[in-house]
Amino acid sequence: MTENEILAMYEDAGALLNGHFILSSGRHSARYLQSALVLMHPRHAEALAAELIARIDPDAFDLVVSPAIGGLVIGQEVARQLNKPFMFTERKDGLMQLRRGFTIPEGARVLVVEDVITTGGSVRECMDVIREHGGIPTQILAVVDRAPDQPGRFDVPCATALALHVETYAPQECPLCREGVLPAVKPGSRGNA
Ligand SMILES: [Zn+2]
């Protein structure tokens, strides 16, 4: 798929939202990508995972790990196509953790998969957890990079299927807050929007 085809997939699914959003990083934005609305269709998830896998050496990993919740669907699908185990990290009391009885074999080479990256904070926290548990994060895959102009976010290679620059603002510098027309919303907290 070309980047335009992937973008069309997002638009067709109503997954490119316009408004006033608080991102998971705490920054504000006028646009939000709701990948869940694309990935809810298994065929889309399958196609996007295949796109991501085409960018890596599929034999270079022992398992796939994603930060919940965003990375769960695409991470599971990538792992399914690679026929590798899939685990996830999740926040509890604000802290990224490996729970649910998951254990990472010592020295396991880990492919980290996320749906959308911006600052990359969740992915970095996920990689910290993997390292604390003896794994070696070696590659990141994400469907969308929302800040392709920010190099150096990660200390391992990162490949994405779609680069889509979306302006974000620190809350105190947000022009949408200044206009005060639209209240800022956390997209995840409103169900599918
Ligand atoms: Zn704002």
pLDDT for 52-79, tens place per residue? Answer: 999 999 999 999 999 999 999 999 999 9
Q: Is the pLDDT of residue 5 over 80?
A: yes
Q: Give the distance (Å) from ligand 1 centre to CA of residue 191.
A: 20
Q: DSSP class of residue 155?
A: S
CA distances from 90 to 31, 66, 75 (A): 25, 9, 13
- Protein residues near ligand 1, an ion, with CB under 5 A: 28, 174, 176-177, 184
Residues 6+ apart with CB under 8 A from 92: 99
**In contact, 176 and 20? CB cutoff 8 Å:** yes
Would you state the structure tokens that stand for residue 189, as one six-digit string? 């907290």
pLDDT for 6-19, tens place per residue? Answer: 999 999 999 998 89
φ, ψ at 5 (rounded to 5°):
-70, -40
pLDDT value at residue 151: 80
Q: Tell me: domain 3-190, CATH 3.40.50.2020, correct?
A: yes
Q: Give the distance (Å) from ligand 1 centre to CA of residue 182.
A: 9
Would you state the structure tokens that stand for residue 161, as one six-digit string? 């299927």
pLDDT value at residue 155: 95
